[in-house]
Amino acid sequence: GAVVSQHPSWVICKSGTSVKIECRSLDFQATTMFWYRQFPKQSLMLMATSNEGSKATYEQGVEKDKFLINHASLTLSTLTVTSAHPEDSSFYICSARVKTGQGQDTQYFGPGTRLTVL
Amino acid sequence: AQSVTQLGSHVSVSEGALVLLRCNYSSSVPPYLFWYVQYPNQGLQLLLKYTTGATLVKGINGFEAEFKKSETSFHLTKPSAHMSDAAEYFCAVRNPLDMGRRALTFGSGTRLQVQP
């Protein structure tokens, strides 16, 4: 099946610094990528939808200036957490959408990035 | 708007016993439905999905789910639990008419424990 990778798999940073997380579709082109965050023992919450070559669409309550998303190519989307604070500590998961024909599509999820802000 | 309710945040079964994880949805249109599994510190893996057609859907690892429109349910079952099934399971829904975002709405998850 299709593979989505994320880098780094985990990161620890100091409060106030910025962290960039990469999401790559390794063997397919993804016109759309999604970014989710997951707090401990909770479900995934959609943060934003990223379309190649256009601005990301953020969900209500998600600060676009804090969570910068860039979808520079059909295989790469990046999420930058700017001026990170301890409350931003979470598990960030991306998914990539691929069309499977006849109007259908499938989302493949990355392994996630655990961010810990000290 | 759509939503997903997973009854039971924790389910514990004995190895070899039936697994039943419950999922009910709310949607203004017949939805697409999904079950995902998440192992610790990993992303989500698709178990199975229902879009159209046969309401009983078979997935990987011996799991299956049945779409019951009258009950707005999509419960996940497996006849015989294995130790390796211990994980977090998420039910998700998507509006098939949403041709733009096509994002998933997830339930709160159910942690399955399998006792030896």
How many Cα neighbours within 13 Å face the side chain of B27?
A: 25
Residues of A in Cβ contact (< 8 Å) with B105 = 46
pLDDT at B99 over 70: no
With contact defined as beta carbons under 8 Å apart, do A106 and A96 qualify? no
* Closest among B80, B73, B76 to B88, alpha carbons compared: B76
Any CB–CB contact under 8 A between B32 and chain A? Answer: no
Cα–Cα dist A103/A86, whole Å: 41
Cα–Cα dist B40/B38, whole Å: 7
With contact defined as beta carbons under 8 Å apart, do B77 and B20 qualify? yes
Q: Which of A4, A49, A114 sits opposite B41 (nearest CB)?
A: A114
Please write the tens of the pLDDT for every residue from B51-86. Answer: 888 999 999 999 999 999 999 999 999 999 999 999
pLDDT of A97 reads: 87
A interface test, pick of B10, B21, B25, B104 with most A CB neighbours within 10 Å: B104
Q: Work out the minimum CA distance from B107 to partner chain A, whole angstroms.
A: 6
Q: What is the DSSP string of B30-41?
A: PPEEEEEEE-TT
Residues of A in Cβ contact (< 8 Å) with B45 = 109
Residues of B in Cβ contact (< 8 Å) with A42 = 108-109
With contact defined as beta carbons under 8 Å apart, do A20 and A40 qualify? no
pLDDT at B106 over 80: yes
What spatial distance separates the first Cα and last Cα of chain A, rounded to whole Å? 37
Residues of A in Cβ contact (< 8 Å) with B2 = none
Average pLDDT taken over every residue of chain B: 91
**Residue B30's pLDDT band (cuts 50, 70, 90):** confident
Strand-pairing partners, residue A70, are A78
Please write the tens of the pLDDT for every residue from A6-39. Answer: 999 999 999 999 999 999 999 888 888 999 998 8
Residues of A in Cβ contact (< 8 Å) with B42 = 111-112
Cα–Cα dist B61/B36, whole Å: 12
Q: What is the DSSP string of A62-112?
A: --TTTEEEEEEETTEEEEEE-S--GGG-EEEEEEEEEEEETTEEEEEE---
Please give the residue of chain B at the shortest CA–CA distance from A105. Answer: B102
With contact defined as beta carbons under 8 Å apart, do A17 and A84 qualify? yes
Q: Name the token pair of B108.
A: 């709160």
Return the minimum-mean-pLDDT range out of A13-22, A47-56, B6-15, B93-102.
Answer: B93-102
* Closest among A87, A91, A82 to A115, alpha carbons compared: A91
Element (H, E) at B14: strand B10-14
Q: With H, G, I as helix, E, B as strand and everything else as coil, classify residue B42.
A: coil
Please give the residue of chain B at the shortest CA–CA distance from A114. Answer: B41
pLDDT at B43 over 90: no
Element (H, E) at A36: strand A32-38
